[in-house]
Amino acid sequence: MATWDDVRRIVRTLPQTTERPSYGGAAAWRVKDKLYAWERPLRRADMEALGDRAPDGPVLAAKLADLGVKEALLSDDPEVYFTTPHFDGYAAVLVRLERIAAPELEELLVEAWLHRAPKRLAEEYLQNARP
């Protein structure tokens, strides 16, 4: 459902976000040089660990507030969210981009941004985002 164009449209609304290539030239988004979301092509070890469950479409990674949030997402919607052994113990989740609805993608990216943004910038964003 979502595309990289959707990701870019959403992150453009988040103050002080920059896009620049990360590992292997994959797109990555940062706030004040803190990574909060990135394109995450699956590696051979990921494919081996996932087996038949490995997605063949685009994969987005997003930094989360903590492991509890990660576990909640993984259990709430395993068709959209997944992880690999590489991310064990790390508060980030992988997203099957083609299976996430745009509003849910926006919520995930905003939460990831809020978690990584400087406190004052995040507070300002939240004040301006309220109706």
Domain range list for the chain: 4-123
Residue 118 has a CB neighbour count (10 Å cut-off) of 12
Provide the whole-model pTM: 0.93
Q: Say if residues 43 and 52 touch (Cβ distance below 8 Å).
A: no
| CATH class of the domain whose range is 4-123 | alpha beta
Q: Say if residues 121 and 32 touch (Cβ distance below 8 Å).
A: yes
In tens, the pLDDT along 46-95 reads 999 999 988 989 999 999 999 999 999 999 999 999 999 999 999 999 99
Average pLDDT over residues 6-32: 94
Residue 97 has a CB neighbour count (10 Å cut-off) of 21
In tens, the pLDDT along 96-107 reads 999 999 999 999
